[in-house]
Structure 1
Amino acid sequence: MGVNTKKLIQKYNLKLTKSLGQNFLIDDNIVKRIVDVAEITEKDLVIEIGPGVGSMTVELAKRAGKVVAVEIDKRLIPALEDNLGEFSNVDIINKDIMDVNINEFRGESGNVKVVANLPYYITTPIIMKLLEENNDNIDIMVFMVQKEVAQRMVASPGKKDYGALSVAVQYYTKPEKAFDVPPHCFVPQPEVDSTVIKLKVNETPPVKLMDKDYFFTVVKAAFGQRRKTLVNALHNFKALGKSKEEIKEILKKLGIDENARGETLSITQFAELSNLLFRSSQIM
Protein backbone atom coordinates (compact mmCIF):
# COMPACT_ATOMS: atom_id res chain seq x y z
CA MET A 1 0.00 0.00 0.00
CA GLY A 2 1.13 3.52 -0.70
CA VAL A 3 0.89 6.35 1.76
CA ASN A 4 -2.57 7.25 3.01
CA THR A 5 -2.54 10.86 1.89
CA LYS A 6 -5.86 11.77 3.46
CA LYS A 7 -4.72 10.48 6.88
CA LEU A 8 -1.47 12.46 6.71
CA ILE A 9 -3.36 15.62 5.79
CA GLN A 10 -5.60 15.09 8.84
CA LYS A 11 -2.72 14.11 11.16
CA TYR A 12 -0.80 17.31 10.41
CA ASN A 13 -3.96 19.41 10.11
CA LEU A 14 -2.86 20.57 6.67
CA LYS A 15 -4.91 23.21 4.93
CA LEU A 16 -4.15 22.96 1.24
CA THR A 17 -3.25 26.29 -0.32
CA LYS A 18 -5.14 27.26 -3.47
CA SER A 19 -2.50 29.87 -4.38
CA LEU A 20 0.12 27.09 -4.57
CA GLY A 21 -2.14 24.94 -6.74
CA GLN A 22 -2.04 22.04 -4.29
CA ASN A 23 -3.91 18.94 -5.47
CA PHE A 24 -2.54 15.72 -3.95
CA LEU A 25 -2.75 12.35 -5.71
CA ILE A 26 -4.61 9.77 -3.63
CA ASP A 27 -4.69 6.88 -6.12
CA ASP A 28 -1.82 4.42 -5.59
CA ASN A 29 -2.29 2.85 -9.02
CA ILE A 30 -1.85 6.21 -10.75
CA VAL A 31 1.28 6.88 -8.66
CA LYS A 32 2.81 3.57 -9.77
CA ARG A 33 1.89 4.19 -13.40
CA ILE A 34 3.61 7.60 -13.36
CA VAL A 35 6.79 6.07 -11.93
CA ASP A 36 6.59 3.31 -14.56
CA VAL A 37 6.38 5.93 -17.33
CA ALA A 38 9.58 7.56 -15.99
CA GLU A 39 11.38 4.18 -16.28
CA ILE A 40 13.02 4.66 -12.87
CA THR A 41 15.96 2.38 -12.03
CA GLU A 42 18.49 2.24 -9.20
CA LYS A 43 20.98 4.04 -11.47
CA ASP A 44 18.82 7.17 -11.56
CA LEU A 45 18.87 10.36 -9.57
CA VAL A 46 15.28 11.62 -9.53
CA ILE A 47 14.24 15.20 -8.84
CA GLU A 48 10.65 15.40 -7.70
CA ILE A 49 9.00 18.82 -7.81
CA GLY A 50 6.16 19.42 -5.35
CA PRO A 51 6.12 16.09 -3.49
CA GLY A 52 3.29 17.22 -1.18
CA VAL A 53 3.12 14.65 1.63
CA GLY A 54 5.19 12.15 -0.35
CA SER A 55 2.77 9.67 -1.92
CA MET A 56 4.87 9.50 -5.10
CA THR A 57 8.18 10.11 -3.30
CA VAL A 58 7.80 6.77 -1.48
CA GLU A 59 7.38 4.91 -4.77
CA LEU A 60 10.31 6.79 -6.35
CA ALA A 61 12.53 6.04 -3.34
CA LYS A 62 11.81 2.31 -3.67
CA ARG A 63 13.12 2.27 -7.24
CA ALA A 64 15.68 5.11 -7.64
CA GLY A 65 19.28 5.38 -6.52
CA LYS A 66 18.54 8.80 -5.03
CA VAL A 67 15.57 11.16 -4.82
CA VAL A 68 15.74 14.92 -4.31
CA ALA A 69 12.29 16.18 -3.30
CA VAL A 70 11.86 19.94 -3.76
CA GLU A 71 8.87 21.31 -1.82
CA ILE A 72 8.02 25.02 -1.60
CA ASP A 73 5.53 24.73 1.31
CA LYS A 74 7.36 24.49 4.65
CA ARG A 75 4.17 23.29 6.37
CA LEU A 76 4.44 20.01 4.45
CA ILE A 77 8.03 19.23 5.47
CA PRO A 78 7.16 17.46 8.79
CA ALA A 79 4.67 15.18 7.00
CA LEU A 80 7.23 14.46 4.26
CA GLU A 81 9.95 13.65 6.80
CA ASP A 82 7.54 11.41 8.75
CA ASN A 83 6.50 9.57 5.62
CA LEU A 84 10.01 9.10 4.24
CA GLY A 85 11.84 8.32 7.47
CA GLU A 86 12.65 4.75 6.45
CA PHE A 87 14.45 5.84 3.26
CA SER A 88 18.11 6.89 3.40
CA ASN A 89 18.19 7.81 -0.30
CA VAL A 90 15.86 10.86 -0.11
CA ASP A 91 16.89 14.49 0.38
CA ILE A 92 14.10 16.97 1.11
CA ILE A 93 14.70 20.57 0.04
CA ASN A 94 12.33 23.32 1.19
CA LYS A 95 12.67 25.73 -1.75
CA ASP A 96 10.85 27.09 -4.77
CA ILE A 97 12.00 25.04 -7.78
CA MET A 98 12.36 28.33 -9.69
CA ASP A 99 15.23 29.19 -7.30
CA VAL A 100 16.97 25.81 -7.56
CA ASN A 101 19.90 25.12 -9.88
CA ILE A 102 19.21 21.62 -11.18
CA ASN A 103 22.77 21.38 -12.51
CA GLU A 104 23.94 20.93 -8.91
CA PHE A 105 22.42 17.46 -8.95
CA ARG A 106 24.06 14.71 -10.95
CA GLY A 107 23.49 10.98 -10.73
CA GLU A 108 26.47 8.65 -10.47
CA SER A 109 25.59 7.18 -13.86
CA GLY A 110 24.75 10.61 -15.25
CA ASN A 111 21.05 9.76 -15.41
CA VAL A 112 18.84 12.51 -14.01
CA LYS A 113 15.07 12.30 -14.29
CA VAL A 114 12.45 14.81 -13.22
CA VAL A 115 9.01 13.71 -12.01
CA ALA A 116 6.33 16.15 -10.90
CA ASN A 117 2.66 16.70 -10.27
CA LEU A 118 2.97 20.36 -11.25
CA PRO A 119 0.82 23.21 -9.90
CA TYR A 120 -1.18 24.11 -12.98
CA TYR A 121 -0.82 27.87 -12.59
CA ILE A 122 2.98 27.69 -13.00
CA THR A 123 3.38 24.63 -15.26
CA THR A 124 4.84 26.41 -18.29
CA PRO A 125 7.44 28.55 -16.44
CA ILE A 126 8.74 25.48 -14.57
CA ILE A 127 8.99 23.35 -17.71
CA MET A 128 10.69 26.14 -19.67
CA LYS A 129 13.19 26.72 -16.85
CA LEU A 130 14.09 23.02 -16.85
CA LEU A 131 14.41 22.89 -20.63
CA GLU A 132 16.37 26.10 -21.10
CA GLU A 133 18.74 25.87 -18.14
CA ASN A 134 19.30 22.18 -17.60
CA ASN A 135 18.54 20.17 -20.69
CA ASP A 136 22.08 18.65 -20.97
CA ASN A 137 21.73 17.19 -17.48
CA ILE A 138 18.25 15.66 -17.72
CA ASP A 139 17.33 12.47 -19.55
CA ILE A 140 13.55 12.15 -19.05
CA MET A 141 10.89 14.39 -17.52
CA VAL A 142 7.45 13.10 -16.57
CA PHE A 143 4.83 15.65 -15.58
CA MET A 144 1.21 15.62 -14.51
CA VAL A 145 -0.25 18.67 -16.23
CA GLN A 146 -3.61 20.09 -17.21
CA LYS A 147 -4.92 18.09 -20.18
CA GLU A 148 -5.04 21.17 -22.46
CA VAL A 149 -1.38 21.94 -21.74
CA ALA A 150 -0.38 18.38 -22.68
CA GLN A 151 -2.30 18.76 -25.94
CA ARG A 152 -0.39 21.96 -26.69
CA MET A 153 2.96 20.24 -26.05
CA VAL A 154 2.33 17.45 -28.57
CA ALA A 155 0.37 19.51 -31.16
CA SER A 156 1.52 19.55 -34.77
CA PRO A 157 1.48 22.48 -37.24
CA GLY A 158 -1.99 23.54 -38.38
CA LYS A 159 -3.74 22.30 -35.23
CA LYS A 160 -5.52 24.83 -33.00
CA ASP A 161 -3.40 23.77 -29.98
CA TYR A 162 -0.11 24.35 -31.84
CA GLY A 163 1.78 27.36 -30.53
CA ALA A 164 5.02 28.67 -29.03
CA LEU A 165 4.94 26.03 -26.26
CA SER A 166 4.62 23.25 -28.86
CA VAL A 167 7.67 24.52 -30.74
CA ALA A 168 9.76 24.97 -27.57
CA VAL A 169 8.93 21.57 -26.10
CA GLN A 170 9.49 19.82 -29.44
CA TYR A 171 12.78 21.65 -29.98
CA TYR A 172 14.18 20.34 -26.69
CA THR A 173 12.36 17.00 -26.34
CA LYS A 174 10.24 14.27 -27.86
CA PRO A 175 6.91 14.67 -26.04
CA GLU A 176 4.51 11.77 -25.64
CA LYS A 177 1.16 11.69 -23.87
CA ALA A 178 1.11 8.74 -21.45
CA PHE A 179 -2.42 8.67 -19.97
CA ASP A 180 -5.22 10.87 -18.64
CA VAL A 181 -6.08 11.19 -14.94
CA PRO A 182 -9.63 12.10 -13.83
CA PRO A 183 -10.28 14.67 -11.05
CA HIS A 184 -11.43 12.08 -8.47
CA CYS A 185 -7.84 10.78 -8.16
CA PHE A 186 -6.88 13.97 -6.28
CA VAL A 187 -7.68 15.72 -3.04
CA PRO A 188 -9.04 18.35 -3.39
CA GLN A 189 -10.44 17.51 -6.82
CA PRO A 190 -9.25 19.91 -9.54
CA GLU A 191 -11.83 21.41 -11.87
CA VAL A 192 -9.97 20.16 -14.95
CA ASP A 193 -8.82 16.84 -16.36
CA SER A 194 -5.13 16.01 -16.07
CA THR A 195 -2.66 14.22 -18.32
CA VAL A 196 0.66 12.54 -17.60
CA ILE A 197 3.17 13.51 -20.28
CA LYS A 198 6.66 12.15 -20.89
CA LEU A 199 9.37 14.39 -22.35
CA LYS A 200 12.46 12.53 -23.60
CA VAL A 201 15.20 15.16 -23.86
CA ASN A 202 16.83 15.34 -27.31
CA GLU A 203 20.56 14.58 -27.38
CA THR A 204 20.85 16.99 -30.29
CA PRO A 205 18.24 19.56 -31.39
CA PRO A 206 16.09 18.60 -34.42
CA VAL A 207 17.16 21.75 -36.33
CA LYS A 208 20.35 23.79 -36.73
CA LEU A 209 20.08 27.39 -35.59
CA MET A 210 22.36 30.36 -36.19
CA ASP A 211 21.11 31.91 -32.95
CA LYS A 212 18.79 30.07 -30.55
CA ASP A 213 17.57 33.20 -28.75
CA TYR A 214 16.71 34.81 -32.07
CA PHE A 215 14.84 31.66 -33.16
CA PHE A 216 12.64 31.81 -30.07
CA THR A 217 12.09 35.54 -30.58
CA VAL A 218 10.77 34.80 -34.08
CA VAL A 219 8.53 32.01 -32.72
CA LYS A 220 7.20 34.31 -29.99
CA ALA A 221 6.50 37.04 -32.55
CA ALA A 222 4.76 34.62 -34.92
CA PHE A 223 2.36 33.42 -32.24
CA GLY A 224 2.00 36.73 -30.42
CA GLN A 225 -0.82 37.83 -32.73
CA ARG A 226 -2.34 34.56 -33.89
CA ARG A 227 -5.02 36.13 -36.08
CA LYS A 228 -2.51 38.12 -38.11
CA THR A 229 -0.53 36.82 -41.05
CA LEU A 230 3.11 35.96 -40.44
CA VAL A 231 4.19 39.08 -42.33
CA ASN A 232 2.15 41.38 -40.07
CA ALA A 233 2.96 39.52 -36.84
CA LEU A 234 6.73 39.65 -37.50
CA HIS A 235 6.60 43.26 -38.72
CA ASN A 236 4.63 44.37 -35.64
CA PHE A 237 7.19 42.76 -33.32
CA LYS A 238 9.46 45.80 -33.08
CA ALA A 239 12.41 43.89 -31.55
CA LEU A 240 12.93 42.21 -34.94
CA GLY A 241 13.09 45.54 -36.75
CA LYS A 242 12.00 44.12 -40.14
CA SER A 243 10.00 45.81 -42.86
CA LYS A 244 7.12 43.99 -44.51
CA GLU A 245 9.06 43.93 -47.78
CA GLU A 246 12.06 42.19 -46.16
CA ILE A 247 9.85 39.61 -44.52
CA LYS A 248 7.91 38.93 -47.73
CA GLU A 249 11.18 38.47 -49.65
CA ILE A 250 12.50 35.94 -47.12
CA LEU A 251 9.20 34.03 -47.06
CA LYS A 252 9.29 33.91 -50.87
CA LYS A 253 12.81 32.42 -50.78
CA LEU A 254 11.53 29.71 -48.44
CA GLY A 255 8.44 28.98 -50.53
CA ILE A 256 6.11 30.10 -47.73
CA ASP A 257 2.93 31.94 -48.70
CA GLU A 258 3.04 35.57 -47.53
CA ASN A 259 -0.51 35.15 -46.21
CA ALA A 260 0.46 32.15 -44.05
CA ARG A 261 0.00 32.30 -40.28
CA GLY A 262 2.53 31.20 -37.69
CA GLU A 263 0.58 28.10 -36.67
CA THR A 264 1.09 26.55 -40.13
CA LEU A 265 4.92 26.50 -39.89
CA SER A 266 6.85 23.43 -38.79
CA ILE A 267 9.90 23.69 -36.52
CA THR A 268 12.11 23.19 -39.59
CA GLN A 269 10.41 26.12 -41.35
CA PHE A 270 10.75 28.30 -38.23
CA ALA A 271 14.46 27.42 -38.12
CA GLU A 272 14.97 28.32 -41.80
CA LEU A 273 12.99 31.55 -41.36
CA SER A 274 14.85 32.65 -38.22
CA ASN A 275 18.24 31.81 -39.77
CA LEU A 276 17.52 33.97 -42.83
CA LEU A 277 16.11 36.82 -40.74
CA PHE A 278 19.11 36.64 -38.42
CA ARG A 279 21.58 36.60 -41.31
CA SER A 280 19.90 39.64 -42.88
CA SER A 281 20.10 41.52 -39.57
CA GLN A 282 23.84 40.75 -39.32
CA ILE A 283 24.50 42.07 -42.83
CA MET A 284 22.85 45.43 -42.12
Structure 2
Amino acid sequence: MSTTRFSEPPKKHLGQNFLHERTVIDRIVQAVNPKPGDQLVEIGPGQGAITFPLLDRHGRMTVIEFDRDLIAPLTEAARAHGELSVIHRDVLKVDFGELAHDAPEGRIRLVGNLPYNLSSPILFHALEHAPAISDMTFMLQKEVVERMAAGPGSKVYGRLSVMLQAYCTVTPLFTVPPGAFRPPPKVDSAVVRLVPRAADTVGIDDPATFARVVRDAFGQRRKTLRNALSQVCDAAAIEAAGIRPDARAEQVPVADFVRLANSLPR
Protein backbone atom coordinates (compact mmCIF):
# COMPACT_ATOMS: atom_id res chain seq x y z
CA MET A 1 0.00 0.00 0.00
CA SER A 2 1.32 3.43 -0.94
CA THR A 3 2.40 5.68 1.92
CA THR A 4 3.98 8.55 -0.03
CA ARG A 5 1.76 11.62 -0.23
CA PHE A 6 1.93 15.25 -1.27
CA SER A 7 2.11 16.43 2.33
CA GLU A 8 4.31 19.52 2.01
CA PRO A 9 2.54 22.90 1.78
CA PRO A 10 3.38 25.18 -1.17
CA LYS A 11 6.75 26.88 -0.63
CA LYS A 12 6.57 30.64 -0.97
CA HIS A 13 10.33 31.05 -1.59
CA LEU A 14 10.02 28.76 -4.62
CA GLY A 15 7.03 30.68 -5.97
CA GLN A 16 4.79 27.61 -5.68
CA ASN A 17 1.08 28.01 -6.45
CA PHE A 18 -0.44 24.62 -7.17
CA LEU A 19 -3.12 24.46 -9.86
CA HIS A 20 -6.27 22.57 -8.86
CA GLU A 21 -9.15 23.83 -11.02
CA ARG A 22 -10.17 20.95 -13.28
CA THR A 23 -11.65 23.04 -16.09
CA VAL A 24 -8.40 25.02 -16.38
CA ILE A 25 -6.34 21.81 -16.34
CA ASP A 26 -8.49 20.35 -19.10
CA ARG A 27 -8.05 23.48 -21.24
CA ILE A 28 -4.27 23.33 -20.85
CA VAL A 29 -4.18 19.63 -21.80
CA GLN A 30 -6.40 20.40 -24.79
CA ALA A 31 -4.08 23.26 -25.80
CA VAL A 32 -1.03 20.97 -25.63
CA ASN A 33 -2.91 18.22 -27.48
CA PRO A 34 -0.04 15.69 -27.49
CA LYS A 35 0.44 13.57 -30.57
CA PRO A 36 2.02 10.09 -30.81
CA GLY A 37 5.80 10.40 -30.74
CA ASP A 38 5.87 13.81 -29.04
CA GLN A 39 8.50 14.20 -26.34
CA LEU A 40 6.80 16.24 -23.64
CA VAL A 41 8.88 18.01 -21.00
CA GLU A 42 7.12 19.79 -18.14
CA ILE A 43 8.84 22.49 -16.11
CA GLY A 44 7.80 22.53 -12.44
CA PRO A 45 5.17 19.80 -12.27
CA GLY A 46 4.38 20.57 -8.62
CA GLN A 47 1.81 18.06 -7.43
CA GLY A 48 1.09 16.77 -10.92
CA ALA A 49 -2.07 18.73 -11.75
CA ILE A 50 -1.07 18.97 -15.43
CA THR A 51 1.36 16.03 -15.39
CA PHE A 52 -1.07 13.22 -14.66
CA PRO A 53 -3.77 14.21 -17.19
CA LEU A 54 -1.03 14.57 -19.85
CA LEU A 55 0.31 11.14 -18.88
CA ASP A 56 -3.20 9.71 -19.18
CA ARG A 57 -3.36 11.11 -22.71
CA HIS A 58 0.20 10.48 -23.82
CA GLY A 59 1.62 7.62 -21.76
CA ARG A 60 5.08 9.04 -21.09
CA MET A 61 6.83 12.35 -20.38
CA THR A 62 9.72 14.02 -18.60
CA VAL A 63 9.41 16.57 -15.80
CA ILE A 64 11.97 18.97 -14.32
CA GLU A 65 11.40 19.62 -10.61
CA PHE A 66 13.67 21.56 -8.24
CA ASP A 67 11.81 20.79 -4.98
CA ARG A 68 13.21 17.51 -3.63
CA ASP A 69 10.16 17.03 -1.38
CA LEU A 70 7.99 16.55 -4.49
CA ILE A 71 10.15 13.94 -6.22
CA ALA A 72 9.04 10.81 -4.34
CA PRO A 73 5.29 11.54 -4.30
CA LEU A 74 5.36 12.57 -7.98
CA THR A 75 7.18 9.40 -8.97
CA GLU A 76 4.85 7.16 -6.99
CA ALA A 77 1.60 8.84 -8.02
CA ALA A 78 2.64 8.79 -11.69
CA ARG A 79 2.73 4.99 -11.80
CA ALA A 80 -1.05 4.90 -12.11
CA HIS A 81 -0.94 7.19 -15.16
CA GLY A 82 2.09 6.32 -17.29
CA GLU A 83 5.87 6.42 -17.58
CA LEU A 84 7.39 9.46 -15.89
CA SER A 85 11.04 10.48 -16.01
CA VAL A 86 11.95 13.00 -13.29
CA ILE A 87 14.92 15.36 -13.54
CA HIS A 88 15.72 16.85 -10.12
CA ARG A 89 17.52 20.04 -11.11
CA ASP A 90 17.28 23.80 -11.50
CA VAL A 91 15.62 24.23 -14.91
CA LEU A 92 18.08 27.03 -15.77
CA LYS A 93 20.86 24.42 -15.68
CA VAL A 94 19.06 21.91 -17.90
CA ASP A 95 20.26 21.58 -21.49
CA PHE A 96 17.09 21.22 -23.55
CA GLY A 97 19.23 20.26 -26.52
CA GLU A 98 20.36 17.12 -24.67
CA LEU A 99 16.75 16.23 -23.86
CA ALA A 100 15.91 16.56 -27.55
CA HIS A 101 18.56 14.11 -28.75
CA ASP A 102 16.12 11.18 -28.90
CA ALA A 103 13.03 13.23 -29.76
CA PRO A 104 11.34 13.14 -33.17
CA GLU A 105 13.11 15.62 -35.45
CA GLY A 106 15.37 16.45 -32.49
CA ARG A 107 12.83 18.69 -30.78
CA ILE A 108 10.88 18.58 -27.53
CA ARG A 109 7.59 20.18 -26.49
CA LEU A 110 7.71 22.25 -23.31
CA VAL A 111 4.82 22.81 -20.95
CA GLY A 112 4.57 24.29 -17.47
CA ASN A 113 3.02 26.49 -14.84
CA LEU A 114 6.09 28.69 -14.42
CA PRO A 115 6.98 30.24 -11.05
CA TYR A 116 6.36 33.97 -11.35
CA ASN A 117 9.71 34.89 -9.82
CA LEU A 118 11.59 32.92 -12.49
CA SER A 119 9.40 33.26 -15.57
CA SER A 120 11.62 35.68 -17.54
CA PRO A 121 14.89 33.79 -16.87
CA ILE A 122 13.18 30.54 -17.92
CA LEU A 123 11.86 32.14 -21.12
CA PHE A 124 15.31 33.47 -22.04
CA HIS A 125 16.84 30.07 -21.21
CA ALA A 126 14.34 28.43 -23.57
CA LEU A 127 15.23 30.95 -26.30
CA GLU A 128 18.86 29.84 -26.08
CA HIS A 129 17.68 26.33 -26.95
CA ALA A 130 14.98 27.32 -29.46
CA PRO A 131 16.22 24.96 -32.23
CA ALA A 132 15.60 22.03 -29.86
CA ILE A 133 12.00 23.08 -29.06
CA SER A 134 8.96 22.64 -31.30
CA ASP A 135 6.58 24.61 -29.07
CA MET A 136 5.96 25.84 -25.53
CA THR A 137 2.68 26.06 -23.64
CA PHE A 138 3.22 28.02 -20.45
CA MET A 139 1.09 29.53 -17.72
CA LEU A 140 2.50 32.78 -16.35
CA GLN A 141 1.37 35.96 -14.68
CA LYS A 142 -1.12 37.65 -17.03
CA GLU A 143 0.91 40.85 -16.98
CA VAL A 144 3.96 38.95 -18.27
CA VAL A 145 1.95 37.36 -21.09
CA GLU A 146 0.71 40.83 -22.07
CA ARG A 147 4.33 42.02 -22.24
CA MET A 148 5.34 38.97 -24.26
CA ALA A 149 2.69 39.62 -26.91
CA ALA A 150 2.73 43.46 -26.93
CA GLY A 151 3.35 45.39 -30.12
CA PRO A 152 5.30 48.64 -30.66
CA GLY A 153 3.60 51.68 -29.20
CA SER A 154 2.19 49.75 -26.26
CA LYS A 155 3.21 50.82 -22.76
CA VAL A 156 4.21 47.23 -21.99
CA TYR A 157 6.20 46.63 -25.19
CA GLY A 158 9.78 46.05 -24.11
CA ARG A 159 12.87 43.86 -24.19
CA LEU A 160 10.88 40.69 -23.43
CA SER A 161 8.43 41.45 -26.28
CA VAL A 162 11.17 42.02 -28.85
CA MET A 163 13.39 39.09 -27.87
CA LEU A 164 10.54 36.58 -27.81
CA GLN A 165 8.81 37.80 -30.96
CA ALA A 166 12.10 37.83 -32.88
CA TYR A 167 12.50 34.11 -32.32
CA CYS A 168 8.94 32.87 -31.74
CA THR A 169 5.31 33.31 -32.65
CA VAL A 170 3.61 34.35 -29.39
CA THR A 171 -0.10 33.54 -28.99
CA PRO A 172 -1.98 34.28 -25.73
CA LEU A 173 -4.63 31.56 -25.24
CA PHE A 174 -6.75 32.27 -22.14
CA THR A 175 -6.79 33.91 -18.70
CA VAL A 176 -6.81 31.96 -15.43
CA PRO A 177 -8.27 33.49 -12.22
CA PRO A 178 -6.45 33.34 -8.86
CA GLY A 179 -8.98 30.88 -7.41
CA ALA A 180 -7.68 28.14 -9.72
CA PHE A 181 -4.58 27.85 -7.52
CA ARG A 182 -3.67 26.88 -4.00
CA PRO A 183 -2.77 29.26 -2.46
CA PRO A 184 -4.42 31.79 -4.77
CA PRO A 185 -1.92 34.36 -6.10
CA LYS A 186 -2.74 38.05 -5.92
CA VAL A 187 -2.81 38.40 -9.71
CA ASP A 188 -4.49 36.82 -12.73
CA SER A 189 -2.56 34.28 -14.75
CA ALA A 190 -2.68 33.45 -18.45
CA VAL A 191 -1.73 30.58 -20.73
CA VAL A 192 0.40 31.36 -23.78
CA ARG A 193 1.79 29.36 -26.68
CA LEU A 194 5.21 30.06 -28.16
CA VAL A 195 6.32 28.44 -31.41
CA PRO A 196 9.99 28.97 -32.31
CA ARG A 197 10.48 30.25 -35.84
CA ALA A 198 12.44 28.14 -38.31
CA ALA A 199 16.11 29.09 -38.12
CA ASP A 200 16.17 30.29 -41.74
CA THR A 201 13.30 32.73 -41.12
CA VAL A 202 14.62 34.44 -37.98
CA GLY A 203 17.05 36.58 -39.98
CA ILE A 204 19.35 37.54 -37.09
CA ASP A 205 22.99 37.44 -38.21
CA ASP A 206 24.54 37.58 -34.75
CA PRO A 207 22.34 36.79 -31.71
CA ALA A 208 24.76 38.42 -29.25
CA THR A 209 24.76 41.73 -31.16
CA PHE A 210 20.98 41.66 -31.46
CA ALA A 211 20.56 40.94 -27.74
CA ARG A 212 22.85 43.82 -26.82
CA VAL A 213 21.06 46.29 -29.10
CA VAL A 214 17.68 45.36 -27.61
CA ARG A 215 18.98 45.38 -24.03
CA ASP A 216 20.61 48.80 -24.37
CA ALA A 217 17.66 50.27 -26.28
CA PHE A 218 15.26 49.44 -23.47
CA GLY A 219 17.77 49.98 -20.65
CA GLN A 220 16.51 53.50 -20.07
CA ARG A 221 13.11 53.75 -21.73
CA ARG A 222 12.88 57.54 -21.63
CA LYS A 223 16.06 57.99 -23.64
CA THR A 224 16.02 58.33 -27.42
CA LEU A 225 17.78 55.61 -29.36
CA ARG A 226 20.58 58.07 -30.17
CA ASN A 227 21.42 58.24 -26.46
CA ALA A 228 20.40 54.75 -25.35
CA LEU A 229 22.55 53.08 -28.02
CA SER A 230 25.56 55.42 -27.75
CA GLN A 231 27.78 52.53 -26.58
CA VAL A 232 26.71 50.37 -29.55
CA CYS A 233 26.40 52.67 -32.56
CA ASP A 234 26.04 56.29 -33.60
CA ALA A 235 23.02 58.18 -34.92
CA ALA A 236 24.15 57.72 -38.52
CA ALA A 237 24.04 53.92 -38.16
CA ILE A 238 20.56 54.10 -36.66
CA GLU A 239 19.36 56.32 -39.49
CA ALA A 240 21.02 54.10 -42.10
CA ALA A 241 18.92 51.22 -40.78
CA GLY A 242 15.77 53.22 -41.50
CA ILE A 243 15.07 54.20 -37.88
CA ARG A 244 14.76 57.73 -36.51
CA PRO A 245 17.56 58.36 -33.99
CA ASP A 246 15.18 60.47 -31.89
CA ALA A 247 12.68 57.59 -31.58
CA ARG A 248 12.32 55.68 -28.33
CA ALA A 249 12.70 51.92 -28.16
CA GLU A 250 9.01 51.30 -27.46
CA GLN A 251 8.16 52.77 -30.89
CA VAL A 252 10.46 50.46 -32.88
CA PRO A 253 9.09 47.24 -34.46
CA VAL A 254 10.95 43.95 -34.02
CA ALA A 255 12.01 43.84 -37.68
CA ASP A 256 13.71 47.24 -37.33
CA PHE A 257 15.76 46.04 -34.35
CA VAL A 258 16.83 43.02 -36.41
CA ARG A 259 17.83 45.24 -39.35
CA LEU A 260 19.81 47.60 -37.12
CA ALA A 261 21.66 44.77 -35.36
CA ASN A 262 22.50 43.12 -38.70
CA SER A 263 23.97 46.38 -40.01
CA LEU A 264 26.49 46.73 -37.19
CA PRO A 265 30.07 45.41 -37.32
CA ARG A 266 30.78 42.42 -35.10
TM-score class, shorter-chain normalisation, is over 0.9
Deviation at 1:209, TM superposition (A): 2.8
Identify the residue that residue 223 of structure 1 maps to in structure 2.
218
Q: What is the SS of the residue equivalent to 2:229?
A: helix
- Residue 253 of structure 2 is aligned to residue 259 of structure 1: no
Do the aligned partners of residues 54 and 141 (structure 1) sit closer, same or farther apart at CA in structure 2, a change above 3 Å counting? same
1:172 and 2:159 are equivalent in the alignment: no
How much has 1:93 moved relative to structure 2? 1.8
- Between Structure 1 and Structure 2, whose CA radius of gyration is higher? 1
Deviation, 1:64, is: 2.4
Consecutive unaligned residues in structure 2, runs of 5 or more: none
- Shifted more, 107-116 versus 153-162: the winner is 107-116
Which residue is 1:145 aligned to? 140
Structure 2: how far apart are the matches of 1:39 and 1:204?
24
SS in 2 for 1:220: helix
Separation in 1 of the partners of 2:127 and 2:235? Answer: 32
8 A Cα contact 2:6 2:47, kept in partner: no
Displacement of 1:79 in angstroms is 1.9
Which shows bigger deviation, 184-193 or 65-74? Answer: 65-74
How far is 1:252 from its partner? 2.7
Letter in 2 for 1:116: G
Q: Which residue of 1 aligns with 2:93?
A: 99
Post-superposition offset of 1:151: 0.5
What corresponds to 1:83 in structure 2?
Answer: 77
CA shift, 1:232, in A, is 0.6
**Letter of the structure 2 residue corresponding to residue 198 of structure 1:** R
Picking from 41, 44, 56, the partner of 1:47 is 41
C-alpha contact 1:118 1:143 (8 A) present in aligned 2: yes
Aligned equivalents of 1:71, 1:97: Cα separation in 2: 8
- The Cα shift of 1:81 comes to 2.0
Contact 1:207–1:268 under 8 Å retained in 2: no
* AA in 2 matched with 1:213: A
Within-5 A mapping of 1:15-54: 15-54=9-48
- 1:205–1:173 CA distance, 2 compared to 1 (3 A): farther
The equivalent of 2:125 in structure 1 is 129
Q: How far is the alpha carbon of 1:65 from its aligned partner?
A: 5.2
Q: Which residue of the partner structure matches residue 149 of structure 2?
A: 154
CA–CA separation in structure 1 for the residues paired with 2:6 and 2:237: 62
Tell me which moved more, 248-257 or 215-224: 248-257
Looking at structure 1, the residues matched to 87 and 251 of structure 2 have their Cα atoms a distance apart, in angstroms, of: 43
AA partner of residue 239 (structure 2): K
CA RMSD of superposed structures (Å): 1.9
Show the counterpart of 1:119: 115
- The question of whether the paired residues in 2 share the 8 Å contact of 1:45 and 1:65 is answered with no
Aligned in 2, Cα 1:64/1:131: closer, same or farther, shift over 3 Å?
farther
Deviates more, 1:85-94 or 1:164-173: 85-94
Q: CA deviation at 1:101?
A: 1.4
Q: Give the distance between the partners of 1:14 and 1:272, measured in 2 at CA.
A: 51
Measured against aligned partners, the alpha-carbon deviations of 1:204-241 in whole angstroms (never above 9, x if no partner) come to 36542332210110110000010010101111xx4x2x
Question: Is the Cα–Cα contact under 8 Å of residues 147 and 192 in structure 1 kept in the other structure?
Answer: yes
Name the aligned partner's letter for residue 62 of structure 1.
D
Say whether the 8 Å CA contact 2:59–2:82 is kept in structure 1: no
Q: Secondary structure at the match of 2:112?
A: strand
Indicate yes or no: 2:203 matched with 1:200. Answer: no
Structure 2 length-normalised TM = 0.92
Q: Is the contact between residue 153 and residue 166 of structure 1 (CA under 8 Å) also seen in structure 2?
A: yes
Instruction: Tell whether the 8 Å contact from 2:167 to 2:202 is kept in structure 1 after alignment.
Output: no
AA at the equivalent of 2:157? Y
| In 1: Cα distance, 2:248 partner to 2:68 partner | 46
What are the ranges of 5 or more consecutive residues in structure 1 without an aligned counterpart?
1-7
